[in-house]
Amino acid sequence: MKIRAKLEAAGGHPLRRIGVAPHSFRAVTPQLLKELLNSIPASDPVHIHVAEQTREVDESLASGGRRPVETLLDFADGKRVFCAIHATHMTEAETQRLARSGVIAGLCPMTEANLGDGIFPARRFLAEGGSFAIGTDSQINVSAADDLRQLEYSQRLRDLERNVLADGPGRSTGRRLFDAALTGGARALAQACGFDRYDALLTAFAQARAAVAAAWKPILGPDILATEQENPV
């Protein structure tokens, strides 16, 4: 809370938001998460890693008898922004509940593919009205377009179809995914969802990417293989 107070006092970019990101229910018990939520404003977004790999789900069942997404949904009362990072391995019931709960699914398609995590059930999730955002996670790639492409391609490989996530015949898959990721991403950051803020969001993204490049490229650049040429990490 001292760190939070200092960040608030420092001011900064009008698009900046303060939030918390407990890593997973393997490290943070439901009781600890409850105490954390009680200590921060309801306006703070909460991002939490859940169900990225089957091992994590198995460990959660073994230790507490519940699956990670089930546990998260206990806290999703609609009063606070939650972003479930990964949420790769869910039952059909969990997928439906997560989609209808208002929790944003924070997907990292390139990283999840690189690690062999599995395939997020995007088709069912979107059909149930779910919202998603995309992120980079391990920074294997920092291209929003590549992440959205990987999300669609993963569904095609699983379902043996094309244009799986297009919103009906003759509709653009890319347009739907871009608009959905922009809206869900804004919500995940507790930002206004209107497209009138699109330019400001892109400016903030460009500034963040430039900062990463300036900080890391001289150190890591020579040692990183098989990534895009301009990828600083």
For residue 184, give the 3-state DSSP assignment: helix
Q: How far is CA 71 from CA 11, 35, 108, 147, in A?
A: 34, 15, 21, 27
d(CA 1, CA 39): 8
Q: Which residue is catalytic, options 47, 49, 89, 137? A: 137
Q: How many CA atoms lie within 13 A of 48 on its CB side?
A: 28
Q: Is 117 a catalytic residue?
A: no
Q: Residue 11: CB partners within 8 Å, gap ≥ 6?
A: none
Q: Residue 75: CB partners within 8 Å, gap ≥ 6?
A: 30, 33, 34, 37, 82
- Sign of the Cα pseudo-torsion (185, 153, 136, 45, in order): positive
Q: Which residue is catalytic, options 86, 89, 117, 147? A: 86
d(CA 98, CA 72): 9
Q: Are 109 and 121 in contact (CB under 8 A)?
A: no
Q: Is 86 a catalytic residue?
A: yes
d(CA 214, CA 112): 26
| Token reading at 53 | 């790999």
Catalytic residue numbers, as ranges:
86, 137
